[in-house]
Amino acid sequence: MSDGAREVACPLTVRHEPVLLEEILAALQIRAAGIYVDCTLGGGGHAEKILQQLSSDGLLIGFDQDAEAIVRVSRRLAPFGSRAKIVQGNFRHVAALLKGAGADRVDGILMDLGLSRYQLEGDAGGFSFQSEALLDMRMNRDASIPTAGDLINGGDPKTLRKILVEYGEEKRWRSIVRAVVKAREQAPIRTARQLADLVVRALPGARRYRIHPATRTFQALRIAVNDELNALREGLQGAFHRLNPGGRLCVISFHSLEDRIVKQYFQTLEKGCVCPPAMPVCGCGKTPSLRRVHRRPIVPSPAEVQRNPAARSARLRTGEKLSE
């Protein structure tokens, strides 16, 4: 299987346990009385393990944009009482969310990107190919944003092309856009399954693919609907600024678009002077503000992948804040 194919296969695979758990706990270097943030609570697996390492003086603040996740995780973390503060919100507003939770600076932050197994298993959001649910794909279903159905049935061909190419890296976008435009002239494409079947029919030979032929289309739509890449960019910046020096930012991503954003952000912070090489003396005064804890991303061990195949595309990057 090509690397690209492997990368996009994962977000639609159900994840049954927290990914890279031991690696995350080690990377965060948890202090029992510290303040830690889980920006993507999901089922609460990582959050629960972090809380188990905190003393009564420690605090975990957790976010998720999905209201159902908040209800579920609140039940799971209830035994930790006031040591767990749970807030519904998008991590792109991490600074404001932390302020609302009464925290100015924190000691470690986790982002475990993508969908949780609950979002896929129940699949009321139309995230997976077999789903008879309406094409929605909003992670926060209270948000007034266009759904996947709105984009598929209302987006002009140029917009559809942009989504498929930029967010799905889909080389066969022409056939897919043509098929979508033709189909919706007859009747709206309503369910996730209808779209998946249409993509299969639009791509000759698709049935021989090792991943579902609609994988890239679904990934692209989900990213577009939730504006995931911009949310990540903003979330990284907000998170970094709220870290105490010595604090660590851990990000688990599942496809190359996300991983590239994390890598480039860390590299920018890691750099010192950014003056043009021709400048005889530094005028920018910029010094490195982050250290990459490991040069290459950490990936799951073969044993973890065997236990939990959905972990196979995970990549963990960790940055340690050096200074403001």
Q: Which residues bind ligand SAM (CB under 6 A)?
A: 18, 40, 42-46, 63-66, 69, 90-92, 112, 114-116, 139, 231
- Measured distance CA(86)–CA(64) in Å, rounded: 8
Q: What angle separates helix 228-242 from helix 256-270, to the nearest 10 degrees? A: 30
**CB closer to ligand SAM, 115 vs 183:** 115
* Helix, strand, coil shares, percent, the chain, to 5: 50, 15, 40
Looking at the Cβ atoms of 25 and 69, the one nearer to ligand SAM is: 69
Q: Contact at 8 Å (CB) between 248 and 291?
A: no
Query: Quick one: three-class SS letters along 196-210?
Result: HHHHHHHCCCHHHCC
- Here the tokens at position 64 are 């998720």
User: CB 161 → ligand SAM: shortest distance, Å?
Assistant: 25
Amino acid found at 214? A
Which lies closer to ligand SAM via its Cβ, residue 179 or residue 312? Answer: 312
Least distance to ligand SAM from the beta carbon of 220, Å?
A: 16
Minimum CB separation from ligand SAM for residue 194, in Å? 24
Cβ of residue 317: shortest distance to ligand SAM, in angstroms? 15
Rounded to 5 degrees, φ, ψ at 106 are -135, 165
Beta-carbon-side half-sphere exposure of residue 5 (alpha carbons within 13 Å): 7
Burial of 81 (0-12, 13-18, 19+ CB in 10 A): exposed
Residue pointed to by tokens 């403001």:
324
Instruction: Give whichever of 69 and 249 is closer to ligand SAM, judged by the CB atom.
Output: 69
CB nearer ligand SAM, residue 65 or residue 215 = 65
110 has which bridge partners? Answer: 38, 250
Shortest distance in whole angstroms from residue 113 CB to ligand SAM: 6
User: Nearest 5°: phi and psi at 85?
Assistant: -110, 120
User: Considering beta carbons, is residue 46 or 321 the nearer one to ligand SAM?
Assistant: 46
Q: How far is the CB of 158 from ligand SAM (least distance, A)?
A: 26
Query: Between 299 and 322, whose beta carbon lies closer to ligand SAM?
Result: 299
| CB 64, min distance to ligand SAM, A | 5
State the nearest-atom distance from the C-beta of 234 to ligand SAM, in Å: 9
Minimum CB distance to ligand SAM smaller for 76 or for 190: 76
Instruction: Select the residue whose beta carbon is closest to ligand SAM and give its number.
Output: 42
Please answer whether residues 133 and 191 qualify as being in contact, where contact means their C-beta atoms are separated by less than 8 angstroms.
yes
81 Cα distance to chain centroid:
27
CB 229 within 8 A of CB 282: no
